[in-house]
Homo-oligomer: A and B are copies of this chain.
Amino acid sequence: MTKVTQAHIDARTEAILDAAMKMIVQKGVHGATIEEIAAEAGLSAGAIYRYFASKEDVLRAVIAQQMKQDRALMEQALASTDSVLHALLSAVQAVWAGLKSEKARDETILSLETTLAAARQSAELGAERRQMRKAEITMLEQCVRQAQEAGEIDPAVDGRALAVMLLACHLGAHQLDLELQDSADTDALLAGVIKMLHKFAPQVKKEEEHKPCHPPSWTDRIARKERYS
How big is chain A's contact interface, by range? 35 or more
Taking a contact as CB atoms under 8 Å apart, the answer to whether A179 and B27 are in contact is no
Partner of A179, one of B115, B138, B162, B169: B115
Copies in the complex: 4
**Which single member of B26, B126, B130, B162 contacts A192 (CB below 8 Å)?**
B162
* Partner-B contacts on A (CB < 8 A): 25-31, 105, 109, 112-113, 115-116, 118-120, 126, 129-130, 133-134, 137-138, 157-158, 160-162, 164-165, 167-173, 175-176, 178-181, 183, 185-186, 188-189, 191-193, 195-196, 199-200, 222, 227-228
Question: Which of B129, B134, B195 is in CB contact (< 8 Å) with A228?
Answer: B134
Distance A161 CA – B134 CA, assembled complex (angstroms): 27
From B133, B178, B189, B227, give the contact of A161 (CB < 8 A). Answer: B189
Q: Which secondary structure characterizes the binding site on chain A?
A: helix
The complex places the Cα of A167 from the Cα of B173 at a distance, in Å, of 8
Contact across chains for A191 and B161 when beta carbons are under 8 A apart: yes
Closest 7 CB pairs of A and B: A168-B172, A30-B30, A172-B172, A171-B172, A161-B192, A165-B192, A161-B188
In contact, A171 and B176 (Cβ under 8 angstroms): yes
* A167, B112: Cα distance in complex, Å: 17
Residues of B near A133 (CB, < 8 A) are: 176, 179-180
Distance of A28 from chain B, by nearest CB (Å)? 6
A135's nearest neighbour on chain B, judged by CB, is: B228
Chain B neighbourhood of A170, CB < 8 A: 172
A28 CA / B28 CA spacing, docked (Å): 10
